[in-house]
Amino acid sequence: MHFSEAKGILSARGGMNIYRGCTHGCIYCDSRSRCYQINHDFEDIEVKRNAPELLEQKLSSKRKKCMIGTGAMCDPYMHCEAELGLMHRCLEIIKRRGFGVTVHTKSDLILRDINIIEEINAKSKAVVQMTLTTADKNLCRVIEPAVCTTDGRAKVLAECRKRKIPTVVWLSPFLPFINDTEQNVRRLMEICVQEKVRGIICFKIGLTLREGNREYFYSKLDQHFPGLKEKYIRTYGNAYEVTSPDNDRLLQIIRTECEKNGIEWRLEKVFEYLNTFPEEKQAATQGMLEF
């Protein structure tokens, strides 16, 4: 890893990325795409060491509370976070300032900070977003080799349920001819139903490939699934959206299970929920002194 001094930490919509790059090793990672201009080895993490100070400055000047989101680009709970604790410090700032937070991860390291997240949820609003791709532990270790398997992520969802922290699950990506099966979809939905997740995000049964991540993905197909790269090329060419032949049927299974179990699957509703700071908490914090 290497360190940098960032000029800013929050996007216009409240997005925050403390790190650039990732060490989880997921073979399909879109963040490897060249369009994101990560101009260093992807596993050589750029650490924005002044992220907590920048966040403190930004939140101290905001008059209106909002949701702070992290994890959309690079996971905030990759391996170096265990040592550096920058996400931990940022959560403490968010809690003290009375803002909300939504954290997207696929790592059980988030359990280290579960008490802070619970306190934020009690004070304002916190949502944990978890990515689930395959219920097969052995396959999980192939396509997501350096992060906890789905069992570990299910434990995070269970702990959130016990603490009444709302959760949203990203069911993605589904790699055609690998994990795009009805059995896998149903097993993942069983986890979501059991842990009473609030919403599911699944755009399509498939993945996206573009310059940068396509080459890496294909190299991993050659390594772990000999001959499958050629099938992808024959089927999809250089398409950006790589959609499973079974997309429509599997999506309908997800939606049917969601409707049967009171889980929101309509994307606009899920994102609206993630981005909305509760009005009653906004009113309660108006006029409070900042520390």
Give pLDDT tens digits for 131-155: 999 999 999 999 999 999 999 999 9
User: Given pLDDT bands bounded at 50, 70 and 90, which one contains residue 279?
Assistant: confident
Residues 6 or more apart whose Cβ sits within 8 Å of residue 47: 1, 2, 3, 4, 18, 19, 80, 84, 86
- What is the arithmetic mean of pLDDT over 37-56? 96
Q: Is residue 25 part of a domain?
A: yes
Euclidean distance between CA atoms 22 and 149, whole angstroms: 16
CATH code, 197: 3.20.20.70
Give the per-residue pLDDT at 132.
98
Q: Is residue 41 part of a domain?
A: yes
- What is the arithmetic mean of pLDDT over 57-61? 96
Domain count, the chain: 1
Asked whether the predicted pLDDT for residue 198 surpasses 70, the reply is yes
Say what the pTM is.
Answer: 0.95
Asked whether the predicted pLDDT for residue 284 surpasses 60, the reply is no
Asked whether the predicted pLDDT for residue 289 surpasses 50, the reply is no
Backbone φ and ψ for 284, nearest 5 degrees, come out as -70, -25
Euclidean distance between CA atoms 272 and 127, whole angstroms: 13
- What is the arithmetic mean of pLDDT over 10-19? 95
| Of 21, 75, 24, 26, nearest in space to 44 by CA | 21
Q: Is residue 147 part of a domain?
A: yes
Q: Is residue 220 part of a domain?
A: yes
Whole-number average pLDDT of the chain: 95
Assess contact for 252 and 244: CB atoms under 8 A: no
Express as a percent the part of the chain with pLDDT over 90.
94
Segments forming the whole domain that contains residue 121: 2-279
Give the per-residue pLDDT at 287.
43
Give pLDDT tens digits for 161-184: 999 999 999 999 999 999 999 999
Q: Is residue 216 part of a domain?
A: yes
- What is the arithmetic mean of pLDDT over 239-254? 98
Q: Is residue 286 part of a domain?
A: no
Amino acid type, 262: G
Q: Is residue 107 part of a domain?
A: yes
Residue 147 is classified by DSSP as S
Q: Is residue 187 part of a domain?
A: yes
The 3 state secondary structure assigned to 1-54 is: CEEECCCCCECCCCEECCEECCCCCCCCCHHHCHHHCCCCCCCCCEEECCHHHH
Give pLDDT tens digits for 97-121: 999 999 999 999 999 999 999 999 9
Give pLDDT tens digits for 80-95: 999 999 999 999 999 9
